[in-house]
Copies of this chain bind each other. A is one copy, B any other.
Amino acid sequence: MAGNSFGQLFRITSFGESHGPAIGGVIDGCPSGIEFDMDAIQNDLNRRKPGQSSLVTQRKEPDEVVFFSGIFEGKTTGTPIGFAIHNTNQKSKDYSHIKDSYRPSHADRVYDEKYGIRDYRGGGRSSARETASRVVAGAIAKQMLQPIRIQAYVSAVGPIAMSDDNKEVDFTLIEKNPVRCPDSQKAEEMEAYIREIRKEGNTVGGVVSCVITNVPIGLGEPVFDKLHAQLGKAMLSINAVKGFEYGSGFGGAKLKGSEHNDLFNPDGSTQTNHSGGIQGGISNGMDINFKVAFKPVATIMQTQTTLNKKGEMVEMQGKGRHDPCVVPRAVPIVEAMAALVLADFTLLNRSTRL
């Protein structure tokens, strides 16, 4: 398997299966001199972890990170930061039923076909547990990026969506409800809907929006490594993501140039922000905004007919403790991946001029 690293200069390399001894990673290229804020890291991990509210999976995973290197006297030293999160609650027997059968819309079958071997315990490497390592690295990137602020929130759960105006978002409301939706009324509807879905033994998808403020002009490389191209890759690399759009997005495809162009103000800012803060792949100083679509979790508590390794059709029912809707827990993951992208481009941008 290739592709367990992300970033060119600020680079996370991650490892680990959901039911092995530990997951973790190495952050290479983190500059020296960053104050190491352990509380901020654990706080982001807590926002991602199971069992945090009655809306998400009730698995108990403390998700405590151990750092092996790269920090000395409270600061990063510039050397690689190795870390691990030990898996303390594997309950491997929960997954014995999938050893020989392929769950629908899971990666089980393609792993067997590609690798000829599969760690069948809980999804192995394709488990979303892997994203905890991203959250650790992202939390450190956030420290480096200050005063840039990255704030994600849930803007849709199934058919229930916030109205489409980023300008009115009050970021202080995001963490006030377990859905992480800053529109309190919509949040209540979403919460009720998720509870209903869970009762059905079903799951539902949703959308996470993200706004990045205080962005300097100049981040991003304008051809293949456009800022939004790398953000898009980052988001699409998160489990269950099906789509990415920034600024005007798919809606922008319906507009005319005269409607879509962002006219300048005398100070260089723009009157509208259909560009989503990015022009030609380079940040233009306006807020960056984008949306990420998540499919419904594939593991449902209803009986499905599926295929086993022998090529037989068999009955299967989801076991274990799964999320009826992942988007509330995906919020810190989206932020983390955005932080990794910006940290990398911030360092790359130092090479732009003589």
Contact = CB atoms under 8 A, between A and B. Distances in A.
Contacts of A256: 158, 197, 200, 202-204, 296
Contact of A130 (B223, B259, B300): B223
Interface residues of A, number: 152
Interface stretch (A38-46, A169-177, A178-186, A238-246): A238-246
A15 B70 contact: yes
Contacts of A247: 242
Interface in A24-49: 24-26, 28-29, 31-34
Contacts of A113: 217-218
Contact of A242 (B118, B230, B245): B245
Contacts of A14: 26, 80, 223
Contacts of A257: 202-204, 296-300
A166 to B, nearest CB: 15
B242 A243 contact: no
A52 interface: no
Contacts of A305: 263-264
A350 B78 CA distance: 12
Contacts of A33: 115-117, 353-354
Nearest to A68: B22
